[in-house]
A = this chain, B = another copy of it.
Amino acid sequence: MSIYSELADIISSRIEKGYYSIGQRLPSLRLFSKENDVSLGTAQRAYTLLEEKGLIEPKSRSGYYVRKNTNISHCYKTVDFPQEPVEVPKWDDILDLTFPPPSSNLIQLGRGLPNIEVQTLKPLLTSLSRSWVKPDLSALYYDEIKGLYKLREQISRLLIDSETQVAPEEIIITPGCHAALSIAIRSICTTGDVVVTDSPCFHGILNSLQNIGAKVIEVSSSKNQGMSLEALELALEQWPVKAILVTPNCNNPLGYIMPEDKKKDLYLLARKFDVAIIEDDIYGDLAYKYPRPRTIKSYDIDGRVLLCSSFSKTLAPGLRVGWIVPGRYLEKASYNKYSSALFLSAAPQKAIVNFIEAGFYLTHVKRMRNLYARNLAVVKQWVELSFPEDVVISEPQGGYMLWIELPKKVSVTKLNEELINEGIQISTGRIFSVSDKYNNCIRINFGARLSPRIKNAIYRIGNSIKNQLL
């Protein structure tokens, strides 16, 4: 391999690992040639090669920059490994951010709310109403500890779609996916234990880790491929990691689906270092492409994967019905469900059983998949038209979240305050990390039925950002 192509490789891997982030200026040719002890000509050749590969671009008179739409996977921010495990800070404002005071006027682009106003959900409402009708009043009693057996049977059937084969006996029903994650975490970790999370990471996971006093190593995810396995391996080599927390399918907030070979490799890494994997599949059924992607659990042959999910995103969060497939931690998980008081009512479980048995679930999910894919196209266009040019927009492959990286100059805190006053709720990037990595990012939700009101809100967000850049 020639020297210049070796140098090009180094840079491209640095871009991939996030040492050089999107839009960042590369070292000048002069500095680069000096640092690497090569001629200016060789340096130039390396940069030209990278330009040809579409990774960097020259800007007149100011040098080379990392391109926005590189087709290699790209980490969002420089990660310095070895990173120290850190305690999860207690956000002061997370509760306000995630649970704003109820107001009918608020345009909720912040929380992960699905569209519940579609026809295909109607039979569920009927079922829900009927679950309180005599003579079967069992819904008024305490539920079984592992949840309604019939529901576990149906979930076992649905899981086959993701090539995950588990018996109803291996499934525990939980009051939502957050509860499932909390049970999983408690089944593996205790105060002071080190865990790896993908980054950015759903804030509920970070909170549950904070609650038990676990320490976190964040491993950056690329926008198309998910967690960097190189960085993960480094972390596993250096720290006594107990569990890896990942959301590989239709990730919240990035929207990627981890390629299947990467999922397999992740599982093999976990085996090699003998750590557990806590997998969040809550958006998995909402992948735009059918058949839906596999779970990491589907590669699991020794029970180290704890699969967590719920009907909150596919049906409705108000049902509070989710599940965990805890693998070899089955007994611990049911004990933790009990001692954390994570019980649920039998009524919504019964209604969901009826809904699935009658074939309504698959119809509904198909409907939602298509609807969200269409919404994505529209909302993305609105953002592209109204936001400054140099924002980086995620490329979701499922679900209904858009992650937008704003120019560093923008204060998202100020933006958020302005928007709240205008009755627009977004999610700020900072709640997706225990460090200050995503302070210039926002997440917006395109689950709801699109309307001029939402279009207007997105344009107002774009304007606020542009105003800050004036």
Contact = CB atoms under 8 A, between A and B. Distances in A.
Interface of A: 90, 94-95, 98-99, 101-102, 111, 113, 116-117, 125, 128-130, 132-134, 137-145, 149, 175-176, 178-179, 181-182, 186, 190-191, 204, 207-208, 210-211, 213, 316-320, 334-336, 338-348
Contacts of A211: 186, 336, 339-340
Contact of A345 (B129, B204, B208, B318): B318
A14 B380 CA distance: 78
A125 B134 CA distance: 9
A341 B179 contact: yes
Contacts of A179: 341-343
A464 to B, nearest CB: 26
B144 A117 contact: no
A208 B339 contact: yes
A137 B116 contact: yes
Given A130-B129, A132-B129, A345 B348 contact: yes
Given A142-B317, A341-B181, A95 B125 contact: no
Nearest to A145: B99
Nearest to A174: B341
Contacts of A344: 175, 320
Contact of A341 (B99, B117, B176, B316): B176
Shortest Cβ-Cβ A-B pairs, 10 listed? A211-B339, A178-B341, A140-B316, A99-B145, A207-B339, A179-B341, A140-B318, A128-B132, A129-B129, A182-B341
A116 to B, nearest CB: 5
13 contacts: A116-B140, A129-B132, A129-B133, A140-B316, A140-B318, A142-B317, A175-B341, A176-B341, A186-B211, A208-B340, A210-B339, A318-B345, A345-B345
